[in-house]
Structure 1
Amino acid sequence: MNTRIPVRLGDRSYDVLVGPGVRTALAGVVRGLGARRAVVVSARPPEWVPDTGVPTLLLPARDGEQGKTLSTVEQLCGEFVRFGLTRSDVVVSCGGGTTTDVVGLAAALYHRGVAVVHLPTSLLAQVDASVGGKTAVNLPAGKNLVGAFWQPSAVLCDTDYLSTLPRRELRNGLGEIARCHFIGAPGLRDLPLPEQIAASVTLKAGIVAEDERDTGVRHLLNYGHTLGHALEIATGFALRHGEGVAIGTVFAGRLAGALGRIGQSRVDEHLAVVRHYGLPTALPADVDPAVLVRQMRRDKKSVTGLGFVLDGPAGAELVTDVAEDVVTRVLAEMPRADLADLVGAATTGPVPA
């Protein structure tokens, strides 16, 4: 059974479809846009790419953080020009979160904006990256430092794509689902995976509708991400995004406890939730806390000091100007594990259904 979730943004509103086989709705979406041509940028084999119903250029995606660069965006835009793509046509992404980000940014910049439709093929992209209109690429100094807001015209979360994912890639997406427990969706652990996806998207759609440009409540979606992004960079992306967010969620609980915002039982709940999804909870043994702090200062939420989304008496909220010595102490108190063990644990053991 398919679920339709509206993202209500006035004239930028669109629907997210979740369920098996929903990718076949692509031709109807393209027809509704009035596009005469389409460029599909895909990290999947051609047989997994649905028909657009119009003349189409199929380009391979460079899925992965290493391809999430301005040079990749420039290359895509060059292909758009050679194909003759106009402002009234459409670009389609078919891949994971990095593909969604890069293709979305290329669509936002080309002719100052051309319609984009996302077909997220990873769990991470379905529950988070494809929805909300944030597009970005990395710089050597940090993650997602160059980007734009560009809402898609539709998002088709086909759960059939998930059947081909390796175990670690499924766990990667579970990191985003786990953090939802602390920002408004505490009951996800008891749901089957398709319902977890729909509930995560519903939560995000409501937050985005309230704060499209990330000036207020949308900060909640960054729960666990400040340390998570720093860990990705510090490990050369050996840790995946969802794994970093999982560790960042455990850290967020510990930091909130150290600041007196929550009690020990709630701190322990962060650990229990992350463990439930089979995700890593320890810091890599060879990562220097000073490097992590330096990287976290570059986070977009950090304006005059260190900033984190933290749990508290009234729920999660953005906390700014957190003292560096407290952050360093909490990092020092985190359990440590070899990076190889953290990565290896993500490829074995059961994945919650």
Structure 2
Amino acid sequence: MTTPATTTTPPTVAPRRIDVSLPGRGYPVHIGPGVRHSLPEVVAAIGARRVAVVSARPPEWTPDPGVPSLVVPARDGERNKTLAWVGELCSRFAEFGLGRSDAVVSCGGGTTTDAVGLAAALYHRGVPVIHLPTSLLAQVDASVGGKTAVNLPQGKNLVGAYWQPSAVLCDTDYLQTLPPREHVNGLGEIARCHFIGAGDLRGLPLHEQIAASVALKASVVAADERDAGPRHLLNYGHTLGHALERATDFALRHGEAVAVGTVFAGRLAGALGRIGPARVTEHTAVVEGYGLPARLPADADVAALIALMRLDKKATDGLTFVLDGPRGAELVQDVPEQVVADALDAMPREPVARA
């Protein structure tokens, strides 16, 4: 891990603030270089006397919350997103004496914000949580919106709760520490925004792409906090994406899998007559334009992928996808399995990078 002295971006970009508005409440998302240093102000604003900081980053990248604190080391990664880890976190909170008037802070990638958010939702039936997402994937998606969850052997994110944070601090200095593949991985969620209302973000400075993605998600969450309708749009590319993560034992990372799922969503929408060939091709062009994978893993088994997609959280009546169409993206239920299988069979393939 590189040190702040060599990677911190000069604060030439003014921080942006985007508000997530919910009935009777809401919270800010701050985006820009150095915003992690405002953590003490955020902690003071919510009146927390003590804080448990769960951090997957080294001490020099874990900001001081400005009040007595417990630092719990964590590790990013889907394999660490378990109920056992949530239980351990709650035990650590209790040993520290964390009360309902205190707060929890997550500092890490999307798997850390997911697990820590769930622990905060469960401990004392809910304590405030502040997210400091440190990966691009977490900044554009996972940390915003209040979805918390952990995995079961049967599938991703099957145990969770809705627990909105008190604030989100998306410090773009953290992004300078990411390995190249992890940076590209984060672009998968930005690429899918192209097809759910964000417009063409290609060519914009990265901080503007992050802000546009967060603003889109904030508007969707404000309209549908608990997945009753419009929020399903945020799962564009995720039905196949989650299945690919499981099928490759997470060798294909989340953003990469969503990127392939986005290309497939275009192909499936085309096969169903919802969009024309040009729009199908646009899906591949956008995904590849971000340097993301657009092909199925070479060894992907179609039957196994379909079996995994049946376990998708959105599925209520057969296979369910968010698909583009004449009225824009929408949830489409009971998609014939044979159509899905044929579209998968027609996808080009390539080996998965295992590094």
TM-score where L is the length of structure 2 = 0.95
Q: Unpaired runs of 5+ in structure 1?
A: 345-353
Does residue 235 of the first structure (1) align with residue 226 of the second (2)? no
**Paired residues of 1:228 and 1:248 also in contact (CA < 8 A):** yes
Q: Distance in 2 between matches of 1:106 and 1:338?
A: 37
How do 1:124-135 and structure 2 match up within 5 A?
124-135=137-148
Q: Distance in 1 between matches of 2:197 and 2:317?
A: 28
Residue 140 of structure 1 corresponds to: 153
How do 1:183-262 and structure 2 match up within 5 A?
183-262=196-275
Residue 71 of structure 1 corresponds to: 84
Question: Does the residue aligned with 1:231 lie in a helix, a strand or coil?
Answer: helix
Does residue 158 of the first structure (1) align with residue 160 of the second (2)? no
CA drift of 1:50 comes to 1.2
Question: Does the residue aligned with 2:24 lie in a helix, a strand or coil?
Answer: helix
Identity %: 73
Residue 288 of structure 1 corresponds to: 301
Does residue 122 of the first structure (1) align with residue 135 of the second (2)? yes
Which one of the candidate residues 296, 304, 310 is aligned to 2:317?
304
Question: Does the residue aligned with 1:13 lie in a helix, a strand or coil?
Answer: strand
Q: Distance in 2 between matches of 1:32 and 1:174?
A: 32
The letter for the 2-side match of 1:23 is: R
How do 1:29-68 and structure 2 match up within 5 A?
29-68=42-81
Question: Does the residue aligned with 2:202 lie in a helix, a strand or coil?
Answer: helix
Which 10-residue stretch deviates more, 128-137 or 44-53? 44-53
Q: Distance in 1 between matches of 2:221 and 2:184?
A: 25
Q: Distance in 2 between matches of 1:170 and 1:309?
A: 25
**Paired residues of 1:247 and 1:282 also in contact (CA < 8 A):** yes
CA drift of 1:12 comes to 3.1
**Paired residues of 1:12 and 1:151 also in contact (CA < 8 A):** no
Q: Distance in 1 between matches of 2:199 and 2:76?
A: 31
Question: Does the residue aligned with 2:132 lie in a helix, a strand or coil?
Answer: strand
RMSD: 0.7
The letter for the 1-side match of 2:191 is: A
Residue 348 of structure 1 corresponds to: none
**Paired residues of 1:21 and 1:159 also in contact (CA < 8 A):** yes
Q: Distance in 1 between matches of 2:255 and 2:309?
A: 17
The letter for the 2-side match of 1:211 is: D
The letter for the 2-side match of 1:161 is: Y
CA drift of 1:163 comes to 0.5
CA drift of 1:287 comes to 1.4
CA drift of 1:339 comes to 1.9
Q: Distance in 1 between matches of 2:245 and 2:203?
A: 29
Residue 6 of structure 2 corresponds to: none
Q: Once the two structures are superposed, what CA deviation does each residue of 1:230-283 show, in whole Å capped at 9, x if it has no partner?
A: 000000000000000000000000000000000000000000000000000111
Runs of 4+ residues deviating >6 angstroms: none
Does residue 273 of the first structure (1) align with residue 311 of the second (2)? no
CA drift of 1:11 comes to 3.0
CA drift of 1:44 comes to 0.5
Q: Distance in 2 between matches of 1:272 and 1:47?
A: 39
How do 1:337-352 and structure 2 match up within 5 A?
337-340=350-353
Q: Distance in 1 between matches of 2:268 and 2:324?
A: 9
The letter for the 2-side match of 1:175 is: G
Q: Distance in 2 between matches of 1:126 and 1:79?
A: 26
Which one of the candidate residues 82, 98, 103 is aligned to 2:95?
82
CA drift of 1:190 comes to 2.5
Which one of the candidate residues 169, 176, 184 is aligned to 1:171?
184
Does residue 325 of the first structure (1) align with residue 338 of the second (2)? yes
**Paired residues of 1:39 and 1:59 also in contact (CA < 8 A):** yes
CA drift of 1:10 comes to 2.6
Q: Distance in 2 between matches of 1:170 and 1:10?
A: 34
Q: Unpaired runs of 5+ in structure 2?
A: 1-13
CA drift of 1:64 comes to 0.4
Question: Does the residue aligned with 2:211 lie in a helix, a strand or coil?
Answer: helix
Q: Distance in 2 between matches of 1:269 and 1:275?
A: 10
Q: Distance in 2 between matches of 1:217 and 1:199?
A: 18
The letter for the 1-side match of 2:327 is: A
Question: Does the residue aligned with 1:339 lie in a helix, a strand or coil?
Answer: coil
Question: Does the residue aligned with 1:315 lie in a helix, a strand or coil?
Answer: coil
Question: Does the residue aligned with 1:318 lie in a helix, a strand or coil?
Answer: strand
CA drift of 1:49 comes to 1.2
Q: Distance in 2 between matches of 1:48 and 1:274?
A: 31
